[in-house]
Amino acid sequence: MFLRLQDVCKSYNGGSVRALDGVSFAVAEGQFVSVIGPSGAGKTTLVRLLCGAERCDAGQIELDGVRLDQARGGALRALQRRLGSIWQDFALVEQASALQNVLNAALPDMSPLPALAGAFGRQRRDEAAALLDRVGLADKLDAPVHQLSGGQKQRVAIARALMRRPALLLADEPVASLDPVTGRQIMELLQDIRRTEGLTVLMNSHDLALAKEFSDRLIGLNTGRVVYDGPADVPDQALAAVYGGGEAAP
């Protein structure tokens, strides 16, 4: 199994907030999985643990046979190189160009002096430009990100994630800041990338309709627990368990 979580727990505020409470599931390589659930269910916490931004309190997280939860230092960075992430708020450098934002993804792989000097080299620049072309932004390489639309920003963020040639793409509410038409275009792009690059995608979504349409499988979280794990055509009864006690299903 490509990604495996076993009894993963994460609390905040000295244990008073249980964001994740014994989460277990496994994802096969190449699957498109959406994590659904009401606000506060633990979706973002899950992605933050998976990208190594935070550590779980208990349990195991395994990526391609390697324990992510135990990795430190260079071993953690090696695992993180296999991950790309995109976020609801894009997390781009707004003043920098689209190309520069994509190139920034290469910084952790560069030695300190060239990294400091921003000397990315011809090959990296060509690669970044090709990725921006791939996401439909061939004419925006030099545009400062703050001049781009929301959909274009998310395209830059996707190109930046791909620059790391990730095996697993993590997406936290990638279309929540976009209008429905643009959001659908971004979902179509993610699906196309998944197909052509053979990526595994784990996405959080509060948009149930989009999650159902684009995913192979849904995982429903409620108060930090998995209450549904199954096909994308989730039965209404299961939805009640996912959204019960939280905000209403969209």
Ligand X SMILES: Nc1ncnc2c1ncn2[C@@H]1O[C@H](COP(=O)(O)OP(=O)(O)O)[C@@H](O)[C@H]1O
Q: Using CB under 6 A, pick the residue from 6, 24, 31, 44 that binds ligand X.
A: 44
17 contact, one of Mg ion, ligand X, none, CB 5-8 Å limit per kind: ligand X
Residue 70 near which of ligand X, Mg ion, none (CB within 5-8 Å, type-dependent): none
Give residue for tokens 């999985």.
Answer: 33
Among 3, 37, 102, 207, binds ligand X (CB under 6 A): 37
Q: Considering beta carbons, is residue 43 or 124 the nearer one to ligand X?
A: 43
Residue 205 is a binding residue for ligand X (CB under 6 A): no
Which of the choices Mg ion, ligand X, none does residue 174 contact, using the CB cut-off of 5 to 8 A by kind?
none
Interface with ligand X includes 88 (CB under 6 A)? no
CB of 219 to ligand X, least distance (A): 12
- Tell the smallest beta-carbon distance from residue 1 to ligand X (Å): 23
Q: How far is the CB of 173 from Mg ion (least distance, A)?
A: 6
Contact flag: residue 19 with ligand X (CB under 6 A): yes
Residue type, 133: D
Minimum distance of ligand X from residue 232's CB (angstroms)? 19
Sign of the CA dihedral with 30 first, then 49, 86, and 227 last? positive
Q: CA-CA distance, 250 to 248, in Å (whole number)?
A: 6
The span of 43-51, 132-140, 142-150, 161-169 binding ligand X (CB under 6 A) equals 43-51
Using CB under 5 A, pick the residue from 11, 24, 44, 60 that binds Mg ion: 44
Beta carbon of residue 52, minimum distance to ligand X (angstroms, whole number): 16
Rounded to whole angstroms, what are the CA distances from 82 to 22, 40, 161, 190, 203?
A: 25, 28, 10, 17, 16
Closest distance of CB 68 from ligand X, Å: 18
- Residue ranges that bind ligand X, judged by CB under 6 A: 12-13, 17, 19, 37, 39-45
- Residue ranges that bind Mg ion, judged by CB under 5 A: 43-44
